[in-house]
Structure 1
Amino acid sequence: MTTPLSDLERIKVNSRYLRGSIAEGLRDPVTNAISDDDNKLLKFHGSYLQDDRDLREERRKQKLEPAYSFMLRARLPSGVVTPAQWLVFDRIAREHANGTLRITTRQTFQWHGIIKNHLKPTMAAIHEALATTIAACGDVVRNVVSTPNPVESSAHALAYAWATRLSEELSPRTRAYHEIWLDGEPLVGEPKDEEPLYGRTYLPRKFKIGLAIPPLNDIDVFAQDLGLIAIIEQGELTGFNVAIGGGMGATHGDPSTYPRLASVIGFTTPDRLFAVAETIVAVQRDWGNRNERKHARLKYTLDHRGLDAFKAELEQRLGFALEPARAYRFDHNGDRYGWIEGEDGRWHLTLQIESGRLADVGEHRWLSGLRELAKVHDGDFRMTCNQNVIVANVAADQRARIDAIVAAHGLDGYRTQSGIRKHAIACVALPTCGLAMAESERYLPQLLPRLEALLEAHGLRDAPILLRLSGCPNGCSRPYLGEIALVGRGPGRYDLRLGADFRGERLNQLYRENVDEPSILEALAPLFANYASGRVDQEGFGDFLLRTGVISANTRRIPAEVVA
């Protein structure tokens, strides 16, 4: 008996390469929404429909439709933005969205609160700024991320170039995007309705690629479907270790779903990188589960079919074998704040943006501050996977000018912030995310002072601790890689997870299930006390919990022999 395909597979195959009836739905004046089928297709174009859940019940009582609006996400390979683009994106936030820009955990921007008749002009403005939203969401290769300061050396710059090429060459080829949003104007040349990689049904689920440059794992390379670890020897980029099968999503109460770290399967030279990446995507396209979307990510394909079987299929299609993985070492997966000098004498300033939300609130004039920086900066901006921004490629004689603007707009908090605040990530969650079970971004400012008070009581204010908040178990904020993580269960209730490391090489574990804030703080207080008195050398909090038996050893899924 053949298992029926999922409903989304039906929608994709009948979509005429992602067209559906999106154009007709946009013109419908009766509703601010579009159909459910078209909303699923709209994700491939970089957007999807949301409603303000804070207003949902009141509007229902008034017999009004929900307060619909659209989220729009850019596709920005490696998170690089020119000052001119920044100013366009800032204007879009103020004129078409809710007045904020949000940096995502995939080095790009999201705009929230765009009403339906503003969606097409917004897409056109992004296009005019030489950017796009195609494939920022949907069952395709998403925005390719990479260690965000590649100009520190020529080898870094070359690795970044490869990440950018992957993002460009693995993008969909359908003309639907240009027809619907740009009145048929092609972005580059005249695209055709041919998808040599994706076919009519694209991928079974989303596919994420990330490139890390040791010793920095600031993109959480093992959380990617395809993780690439740049191997630099004597200052030269020799190639990449290839890791496959990472993914953070899970479902509460369903043990058949789980987070997984990517497995290192070998090494490839740069000239073979594109062939290797494309073929891994193609095997997942053919082998991935199209019947049950909860099991459609590459991690489940590997665990159901076998890692060795997948690698054998990959090498058979390639016509050559991957080389043995090379040694590497990661030392942390956070961002490095403040000024850093590149080998060419230009400087890079990393600013901490809480939850990635650029807004003008109170003394923090972060949106305005970045706007003023964009007006005078002659380098570029780089988003990080930890929701922060780097003012990159600054001439030495411009540093004082940049610092003055940063200080005037309250963007210099990184100088005095606690260790846990510097390394906190939160997803959007309520009120706009339809999957959210609990607060995340809006809860972080309340939670942090309470955690800081506990830490300060034990002399741990400056201890770097990875904190991750997620409003649901789907894992956009990569909560399963937090030394401390809260995963939403319901209003005010979370799973408390502990014990990942500061290198992104170990998953955390469930410590308390479905608990409220007082229970979370009560559980953490004695652990902080023990950590303060019992840690050794520069031991991280997660490593301390593992060494002292608070959590048990779990499978790293990363072959120890390739870790230097």
Structure 2
Amino acid sequence: MKKDHKKIFLKTTQEEHIKENSNYLRGTIVDDLKNEITNGFSGDNFSLIRFHGMYQQDDRDLRLERNEQKLEPRYAMMLRCRLPGGIIEAKKWLKIDHFASKNTLYGTIRLTNRQTFQFHGILKKKLKDAHKMLHEIGLDSLGTANDVNRNVLCTSNPMESLVHQECYTWAQKISNVLLPQTKAYAEIWLDQKKIATTDQEPILGKTYLPRKFKTTVVVPPYNDVDLYANDMNFIAIIKNNKIVGFNVLIGGGLSITHGNKNTWPFLAVELGYITLEHTLSVAKSIVTTQRDWGNRTDRKNAKTRYTIEKVGLSVFKKEVEKRANTTFEPIRPYYFTGRGDRFGWTKNINNDWSLTIFVQNGRIYDNDKQLVKSGLLKIANLHKGNFRLTANQNIVISEISDENKKKINEIAMSHGLIKKVSPLRENSMACVSFPTCPLAMAEAERMLSFFITQVENIMLKYGVEKEIIILRISGCPNGCGRSLLAEIGLIGKAIGRYNLYIGGNRIGSRIPKIYKENITEKEILTHLEFLIKIWSIKRKKTEHFGDFVVRKNIVKEIVNPIHDFWN
């Protein structure tokens, strides 16, 4: 008997039901805030608070002890600010620092590779205070997590040229046009009176996107935002020192599931070139196409890259052109030379100064080697310009006057903010992982500094200590540490065990291949010593590590990740 396709229904995920029944992200969050019996959120609200920029976490170092004491886990929230382009006035940093010091369990601020900052360890009773503090300084956390367009990245230092300033402006415009329109955020966290009018989400829809969505705006030749890992990317095309249009690339993403060959990392692919006047309509059309065509029955295959693989790039492109009422032109020439931050002092177009500071893991705190938190606080009290957060977890102090340059330099030097570190360390990265991330399988942030020291010693032994290797560690396969765009990438499998990937390239346009699976830190270092030794001896002049291991067929180059990644 022939089946009636109209009667065949695919079962959507539990997350889709939560969004459908949430009353535009309200749920019963207000009731949970009144519940003083638990420090956590219950039921659907556990998921819904993510749309408001928060994740419920617990300290996994204390989990067993509290369980033995028959206590609930030490629940606290991570809150991530929305900060398109990563720019914040220095004077606003004072309140951010004060809140972190007085109202979080850890007292730190974390710079993320999404070019913003987040607080870890906010108790439920302090959440409204956090949102109100952000609101007072003109910020919010709406849409920095879950199934929406996340914080929009842009090339780090817009003060270097007029083009960079334009780039930042477009990042703001795209962020604003794709922002959730629900009034739930203001009602719940800012105590604004509920308006009788009905909520609408003309772009995101009532059930929002099938999965998280990430966007960048990039000024070549610096790929400091790792654009190939993002769903939607606008590469600035420049003529006479002005942006005249954008090359649009879509479908990047790095998250996988260990052993699940239906998941794979993918590099963003080219749609075409558009002139400036079509930027926002194209952005909206890409998002709405993914909204309508994305997989809502399997969240592991719900990202844009899987939609493109399912329908084909040409079909996706035609739909975007139809919705945007435009036609893509052929891609304009562009190239990238690197993706790291440029540290130290630089002079800007207005004849003022910028100082880029390396922050290990993006963690703003004081220790016996560096007084990062205290130093930035002193600078913020003095500085009249901005702080600019980078997608590599560092910070740029920009628009420094000649008058203040000496004072800021003295503070930076006395607090250890200007400190010579190896190129390897400058280009390293790790996700937060333990103890707060519930998805963590192995250490990342807490391991990175020690691990880098061991690799530095190996590089010194073989005379390549001045070379750059892009090395990243992720505590799980969800991609937050961007290990699958590194020359050396570690992805956690269990406590003390990782998959070792090698063969990415310097500019971030090649996915590395697995070299060894489920090995210990000691084993990883043994393998890296062997690889670095032969690289130092047999490489071509100036040949990068990732290029070398591919050329020598130590690992096969991944040309088509769908077929090559798991084989």
In structure 1, distance between residues paired with 2:539 and 2:401? 41
Q: Please report how far the alpha carbon of residue 340 of structure 1 lies from its aligned counterpart in structure 2 after TM superposition.
A: 1.8
> What does 1:420-439 align with in structure 2 at a 5 Å threshold?
420-439=424-443
Q: Please report how far the alpha carbon of residue 320 of structure 1 lies from its aligned counterpart in structure 2 after TM superposition.
A: 2.0
Which residue does the alignment assign to 2:111? 103
> What does 1:201-240 align with in structure 2 at a 5 Å threshold?
201-240=207-246
Q: Is the 8 A contact 1:92 1:122 kept in 2?
A: yes
Q: Please report how far the alpha carbon of residue 83 of structure 1 lies from its aligned counterpart in structure 2 after TM superposition.
A: 1.1
Q: Match of 2:468, as an amino acid?
A: P
Which residue does the alignment assign to 1:30? 37
> What does 1:112-151 align with in structure 2 at a 5 Å threshold?
112-151=120-159
Q: Match of 2:477, as an amino acid?
A: P
Within the alignment, does 1:383 sit opposite 2:389 as a pair? yes
Q: Please report how far the alpha carbon of residue 198 of structure 1 lies from its aligned counterpart in structure 2 after TM superposition.
A: 1.3
Within the alignment, does 1:80 sit opposite 2:84 as a pair? no
Q: Is the 8 A contact 2:503 2:557 kept in 1?
A: no
Within the alignment, does 1:71 sit opposite 2:78 as a pair? yes
Distance 1:422 1:493, change over 3 A: same
In structure 1, distance between residues paired with 2:558 and 2:256? 18
Within the alignment, does 1:198 sit opposite 2:208 as a pair? no
Give TM-score scaled by structure 1 length: 0.96
Q: Please report how far the alpha carbon of residue 538 of structure 1 lies from its aligned counterpart in structure 2 after TM superposition.
A: 2.6
> What does 1:242-391 align with in structure 2 at a 5 Å threshold?
242-391=248-397
Q: Which SS does the other structure have where 2:144 is aligned?
A: coil
Which residue does the alignment assign to 1:544? 548
In structure 1, distance between residues paired with 2:255 and 2:197? 34
Alignment counterpart, residue 450 of structure 1, candidates 438, 454, 464: 454
Which residue does the alignment assign to 2:523? 519
Distance 1:200 1:136, change over 3 A: same
Q: Please report how far the alpha carbon of residue 529 of structure 1 lies from its aligned counterpart in structure 2 after TM superposition.
A: 1.2
Which residue does the alignment assign to 2:400? 394
Q: Please report how far the alpha carbon of residue 315 of structure 1 lies from its aligned counterpart in structure 2 after TM superposition.
A: 1.2
Which residue does the alignment assign to 1:499? 503
Which residue does the alignment assign to 1:10? 17
Q: Match of 2:66, as an amino acid?
A: R
Q: Please report how far the alpha carbon of residue 554 of structure 1 lies from its aligned counterpart in structure 2 after TM superposition.
A: 2.0
Alignment counterpart, residue 167 of structure 2, candidates 147, 154, 159: 159
Q: Is the 8 A contact 1:460 1:532 kept in 2?
A: yes
In structure 1, distance between residues paired with 2:50 and 2:207? 14
Deviations 1:2-57 (A, max 9, x none): 22110011010110000000010011011111113101000000002101111111
In structure 2, distance between residues paired with 1:86 and 1:440? 27
Q: Which SS does the other structure have where 2:281 is aligned?
A: helix
Q: Which SS does the other structure have where 2:407 is aligned?
A: helix
Counting matched residue pairs gives 553
Q: Is the 8 A contact 1:430 1:438 kept in 2?
A: yes
In structure 1, stretches of 5+ residues that fail to align are 558-564
Q: Please report how far the alpha carbon of residue 418 of structure 1 lies from its aligned counterpart in structure 2 after TM superposition.
A: 1.0
In structure 2, distance between residues paired with 1:486 and 1:159? 32
Q: Please report how far the alpha carbon of residue 233 of structure 1 lies from its aligned counterpart in structure 2 after TM superposition.
A: 2.4
Distance 1:529 1:515, change over 3 A: same
Q: Which SS does the other structure have where 2:47 is aligned?
A: helix
Q: Is the 8 A contact 2:60 2:435 kept in 1?
A: yes
In structure 2, distance between residues paired with 1:282 and 1:429? 32
In structure 2, distance between residues paired with 1:347 and 1:539? 34
Within the alignment, does 1:54 sit opposite 2:61 as a pair? yes
Alignment counterpart, residue 534 of structure 1, candidates 538, 543, 546: 538
Distance 1:423 1:192, change over 3 A: farther
Q: Is the 8 A contact 2:549 2:555 kept in 1?
A: yes
Higher mean alpha-carbon deviation, 440-449 vs 272-281, is at 440-449
- In the TM superposition, structure 1's runs of 4+ consecutive aligned residues that sit over 4 Å from their partners are 189-192
Q: Match of 1:46, as an amino acid?
A: G
In structure 2, distance between residues paired with 1:555 and 1:228? 23
Higher mean alpha-carbon deviation, 267-276 vs 547-556, is at 547-556
Q: Which SS does the other structure have where 1:465 is aligned?
A: coil
Which residue does the alignment assign to 1:184? 192
In structure 2, distance between residues paired with 1:33 and 1:403? 44
In structure 2, distance between residues paired with 1:382 and 1:125? 20
Q: Please report how far the alpha carbon of residue 493 of structure 1 lies from its aligned counterpart in structure 2 after TM superposition.
A: 0.2
Q: Is the 8 A contact 1:505 1:556 kept in 2?
A: no
In structure 2, distance between residues paired with 1:119 and 1:46? 11
Give TM-score scaled by structure 2 length: 0.96
Which residue does the alignment assign to 1:562? none
Q: Which SS does the other structure have where 1:390 is aligned?
A: strand
Which residue does the alignment assign to 1:561? none
In structure 2, distance between residues paired with 1:496 and 1:214? 30
Which residue does the alignment assign to 1:560? none
Q: Match of 1:496, as an amino acid?
A: L
Q: Match of 2:123, as an amino acid?
A: I
Within the alignment, does 1:93 sit opposite 2:100 as a pair? yes
In structure 2, distance between residues paired with 1:294 and 1:138? 14
Q: Please report how far the alpha carbon of residue 556 of structure 1 lies from its aligned counterpart in structure 2 after TM superposition.
A: 6.7
Q: Is the 8 A contact 2:91 2:383 kept in 1?
A: no
Identity over aligned pairs, percent: 43
Q: Is the 8 A contact 1:174 1:191 kept in 2?
A: no
Q: Is the 8 A contact 1:84 1:129 kept in 2?
A: no
In structure 1, distance between residues paired with 2:518 and 2:197? 50
In structure 1, distance between residues paired with 2:539 and 2:395? 32
Deviations 1:258-298 (A, max 9, x none): 11100011011111100000100000000000111111100
Q: Match of 1:109, as an amino acid?
A: F
Q: Please report how far the alpha carbon of residue 539 of structure 1 lies from its aligned counterpart in structure 2 after TM superposition.
A: 2.0
In structure 2, distance between residues paired with 1:193 and 1:346? 46
Q: Is the 8 A contact 1:261 1:556 kept in 2?
A: no
Within the alignment, does 1:174 sit opposite 2:182 as a pair? yes
Q: Please report how far the alpha carbon of residue 156 of structure 1 lies from its aligned counterpart in structure 2 after TM superposition.
A: 1.5
In structure 2, distance between residues paired with 1:397 and 1:500? 44
Q: Please report how far the alpha carbon of residue 317 of structure 1 lies from its aligned counterpart in structure 2 after TM superposition.
A: 1.8
Which residue does the alignment assign to 2:484? 480
Q: Is the 8 A contact 2:154 2:171 kept in 1?
A: yes
Q: Match of 1:3, as an amino acid?
A: L
Which residue does the alignment assign to 2:565? none
Higher mean alpha-carbon deviation, 177-186 vs 290-299, is at 177-186
Q: Please report how far the alpha carbon of residue 191 of structure 1 lies from its aligned counterpart in structure 2 after TM superposition.
A: 8.7
Q: Which SS does the other structure have where 2:532 is aligned?
A: helix
In structure 1, distance between residues paired with 2:541 and 2:114? 33
Which residue does the alignment assign to 1:42? 49
Q: Which SS does the other structure have where 2:376 is aligned?
A: helix
In structure 2, distance between residues paired with 1:397 and 1:532? 46
